[in-house]
């Protein structure tokens, strides 16, 4: 028997383990099972590719608990290790950067997140053990096996193990349970099952305890789609999402090459109740080589796709990768980018080939998806490609490209109008001339519409243009304006100076007397309202009052002002004109009671 010293950095790491700075001690079993699973993978590959002699007929992981002896053994019949490998692999930490991380770990005492930056693997057993024994024998080699043992305190012993079977058995001599310190009784049947189910259910090899296999072994994402039934996918979806309805769509993804990962994603059929609540759970499950790493990994999918559920299984990440690391990891960013593209292209396919499913998707998640127009500039175009909008052209929503295909000659902009409801938008005075000329206008009624339209300059070269803003570029109907409106316009500008920044004659009205429009670069009123609702105080934006010169009220007002510019009832009429314009577009009056009184007095005089 030989006694050897751990390499300096390994010793440091072991100290950290023994003093157990990592709060979740359960993971030691996950690590051992993961190592065992790797060893089984390696044996399978060695036999297959290198012609190593070995039995791959019954690759398995066995768990054996002995409550009396207080031991838990994890045994595999995988590749095993030679004596030299044991010394090399278990006695040292080969990974680069570990020394630097250890230094930082020491400085940041108790910072448990840092430890997630490197795989602690086998050493994590020392969080729960006062002694660990490893007995192993390498597949395809002559000679005997090796027995390694350590209490984690600086040294380990190495010895021959003549009778060791091929594979590796790690026996953890457990410290007394101390539940307050999250040190559980790891010989307890229930605890073992719980950990296996939670972290290792999808390990591709059977994890057995006695005659029983504890894991389902179904790594669905790793199996070719043609071999997995819809029902299996749906069960899996329900398991991870806690949804009870089948998903709308299942998405498989596999990346090979330098950076390997697999993903299995689902688009649900219905939005969760908390889709628009900030504290809702979101994100994907992250696996590393079939080993469950974490739930709700927000780094894998952007917020606007938060309704997507599923699993990403990456081959090259550390098992102990922390959320902090995920945020900075370049590989994770690449995965995320790819997932976004895949989800968007799936939606595009739905739209092209399965209109009913697409309609369901858009009804449930369109509002969330549109947030991406603001938050994901790179995919703005792709999102607009799959988006549909209500329109004056018909009851069915339209895509932007269909809209463009229907544009009238000479029309360059994509017209839209925002509002609270379809009815309100359709009946808004701003619509009149557009309707009269048969020009299609998009009807945008989601709160997020007010915001993204500001962020999207154009679609395929066509500007998005609010018909309640700026001047309209409609061809002028060649009607002579009756009479001279300049004095009235000047009068109203002065009288309504507190309410509006300008007064002018309109080309967009056919039936209404007046309407309010925003100046080209001013904030839309709904947006202003939204900011106020969020507790902010944006500067009050005054709008422009546009008059319809052919309306009897406006013409009458002109005549009345011409007759007697100091008529004492004129200011009230001006105020009523402004108020009705505001009401017609669904706006809020500053002083509704005053408006009602003015109106009632005026009506009383006409009866």
Ligand X SMILES: Nc1ncnc2c1ncn2[C@@H]1O[C@H](COP(=O)(O)OP(=O)(O)OP(=O)(O)O)[C@@H](O)[C@H]1O
Does position 369 interact with ligand X (CB under 6 A)? The reply is no
For residue 469, the minimal CB distance to ligand X (Å) is 57
Closer of 88 and 601 to ligand X (Cβ): 88
72: Cβ–Cβ under 8 A, 6 or more apart, which residues?
A: 29, 63, 64, 65, 66, 171, 172, 174, 186, 187, 192
**Site membership for ligand X, residue 579 (CB under 6 A):** no
89 binds ligand X (CB under 6 A): yes
Query: How many residues line the site for ligand X (CB under 6 A)?
Result: 18
Position 207 contacts ligand X (CB under 6 A): no
Stretch that binds ligand X, among 77-85, 255-263, 425-433, 444-452 (CB under 6 A): 77-85
Tell me the C-alpha distance between 161 and 146, whole Å: 5
Which residue carries 């519409």 as its tokens? 449
Instruction: Give the separation between CA 178 and CA 130, rounded to whole angstroms.
Output: 14
Site for ligand X in 117-136 (CB under 6 A): 119, 121-123
Using the minimum distance from each CB to ligand X, give the nearer residue, 6 or 389.
6
Q: How far is the CB of 339 from ligand X (least distance, A)?
A: 24
**Number of alpha carbons in the 13 Å side-chain half-sphere of residue 14:** 23
Q: Are 64 and 75 in contact (CB under 8 A)?
A: yes
For residues 367 and 380, give the distance between their C-alpha atoms in angstroms, rounded to a whole number. Answer: 14
Minimum distance from CB of 102 to ligand X (Å)? 14
Quick one: tokens of 147? 């027995």
Nearer to ligand X, 123 or 184 (CB): 123
Cβ-based nearer residue to ligand X, 125 or 187 = 125
Binding letters toward ligand X, positions 18-37, x by CB under 6 A: -------------x---xx-
Adjacency order of strands within the sheet including 261-267: 249-255, 261-267, 309-314, 284-288, 291-297
Considering the complex, what minimum distance in angstroms separates the CB of residue 524 from ligand X?
53
For the segment 433-462, give every residue that binds ligand X (CB under 6 A).
none
Q: Shortest distance, CB of residue 259 to ligand X, whole angstroms?
A: 16
Q: Are 449 and 370 in contact (CB under 8 A)?
A: yes
Interface region with ligand X, contact rule CB under 6 A, candidates 8-16, 116-124, 300-308, 402-410: 116-124
Per-residue DSSP letter, 272: -
Is residue 168 close enough to count as binding ligand X by CB under 6 A? Answer: yes
Q: Does 76 bind ligand X (CB under 6 A)?
A: yes
Helix (H) or strand (E) holding 202: none
CA–CA gap between residue 169 and residue 86 (Å, rounded): 13
Residues near 52 by beta carbon (within 8 Å), at least 6 away in sequence: 43, 46, 139, 140
Structure tokens, 451? 């915001």
Q: Which residue is nearest to ligand X (CB)?
A: 119
Listed in sequence order, the DSSP H helices in 354-398 are 355-370, 372-375, 380-386
Burial of 410: CB neighbours in 10 Å, binned 0-12, 13-18, 19+:
exposed
Please select the residue that binds ligand X; options are 56, 235, 270, 318, rule is CB under 6 A. 318
- Least distance to ligand X from the beta carbon of 90, Å? 6
Stretch that binds ligand X, among 79-87, 141-149, 203-211, 449-457 (CB under 6 A): 79-87
Q: How many residues does the chain have?
A: 607
Query: Pick from 11, 72, 78, 362: which binds ligand X (CB under 6 A)?
Result: 78
Q: Does residue 429 belong to the site contacting ligand X (CB under 6 A)?
A: no
Is the CB of 332 or the CB of 467 nearer to ligand X?
332
Question: With binding defined as CB under 6 A, does residue 81 bind ligand X?
Answer: yes
**Residue 417 contacts ligand X per CB under 6 A:** no
Question: Which residues of the shown chain bind ligand X in the complex (CB under 6 A)?
Answer: 31, 35-36, 39, 76, 78-81, 89-90, 119, 121-123, 168, 318-319
């Amino acid at each position: 028997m030989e006694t050897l010293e751990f390499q300096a950095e390994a010793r440091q790491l072991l100290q950290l383990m023994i003093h157990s700075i990592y709060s979740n001690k359960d993971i030691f079993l996950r690590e051992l099972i993961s190592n065992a699973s790797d060893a089984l993978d390696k044996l399978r590959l060695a036999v297959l590719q290198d012609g190593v002699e070995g039995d791959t007929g019954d690759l398995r992981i066995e768990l054996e608990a002995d409550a009396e002896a207080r031991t838990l053994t994890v045994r595999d019949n995988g590749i095993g290790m030679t004596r030299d490998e044991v010394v090399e692999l278990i006695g040292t930490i080969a990974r680069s950067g570990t020394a630097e991380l250890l230094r930082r770990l020491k400085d940041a005492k108790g910072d448990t997140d840092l430890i997630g930056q490197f795989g602690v693997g086998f050493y994590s057993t020392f969080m729960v053990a006062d002694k660990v024994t490893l007995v192993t024998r390498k597949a395809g080699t002559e000679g005997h096996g090796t027995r390694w043992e350590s209490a984690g305190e600086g040294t380990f012993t190495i010895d021959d193990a003549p009778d060791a079977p091929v594979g590796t058995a790690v026996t953890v001599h457990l410290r007394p349970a101390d539940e307050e310190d999250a040190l559980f009784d790891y010989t307890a049947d229930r605890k073992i099952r719980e950990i296996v189910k939670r972290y290792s259910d999808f390990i591709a090899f059977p994890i057995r305890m006695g005659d029983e296999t504890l894991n389902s072994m179904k790594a669905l994402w790793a199996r070719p789609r043609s071999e997995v039934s819809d029902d299996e996918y749906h069960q899996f979806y329900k398991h991870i999402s806690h949804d009870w309805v089948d998903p709308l769509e299942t998405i498989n993804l596999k990346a090979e090459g330098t950076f390997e990962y697999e993903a299995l994603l689902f688009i649900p059929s219905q939005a969760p109740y908390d889709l628009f609540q900030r504290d809702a759970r979101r994100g994907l499950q992250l696996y590393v080589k079939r080993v469950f790493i974490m739930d709700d990994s927000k780094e894998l999918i952007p917020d606007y796709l938060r309704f997507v559920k599923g699993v990403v299984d990456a081959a090259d990440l550390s098992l102990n990768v922390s959320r902090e690391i995920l945020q900075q990891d370049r590989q994770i960013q690449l995965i995320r980018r790819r997932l976004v593209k895949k989800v968007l292209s799936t939606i595009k396919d739905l739209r092209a080939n399965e209109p009913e499913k697409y309609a369901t998707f858009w009804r449930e998640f369109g509002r969330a998806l549109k947030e991406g127009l603001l938050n994901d500039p790179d995919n703005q175009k792709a999102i607009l490609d799959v988006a549909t909008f209500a329109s004056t052209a018909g009851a069915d929503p339209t895509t932007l490209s269909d809209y463009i295909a229907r544009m009238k000659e000479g029309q360059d902009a994509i017209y839209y109008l925002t509002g609270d409801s379809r009815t309100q938008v359709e009946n808004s005075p701003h619509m009149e001339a557009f309707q009269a000329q048969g020009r299609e206008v998009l009807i945008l009624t989601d709160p997020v519409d007010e915001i993204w339209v500001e962020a999207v300059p154009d679609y395929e070269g066509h500007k998005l243009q609010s018909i309640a803003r700026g001047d309209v570029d409609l061809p002028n109907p060649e009607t002579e304006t009756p009479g001279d409106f300049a004095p009235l316009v000047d009068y109203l500008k002065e009288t309504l100076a507190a309410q509006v920044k300008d007064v002018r004659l309109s080309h967009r009205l056919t039936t209404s007397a007046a309407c309010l429009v925003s100046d080209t670069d001013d904030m839309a009123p709904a947006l202003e309202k939204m900011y106020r609702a969020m507790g902010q105080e944006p500067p009050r934006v005054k709008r422009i009052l546009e008059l319809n010169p052919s309306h009897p009220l406006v013409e009458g007002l002109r005549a009345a002002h011409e007759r007697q510019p100091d008529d004492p009832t004129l200011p009230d009429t001006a105020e009523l004109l402004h108020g009705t314009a505001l009401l017609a577009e669904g706006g809020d009056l500053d002083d509704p009671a005053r408006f009602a009184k003015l109106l009632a007095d005026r009506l009383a005089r006409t009866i």
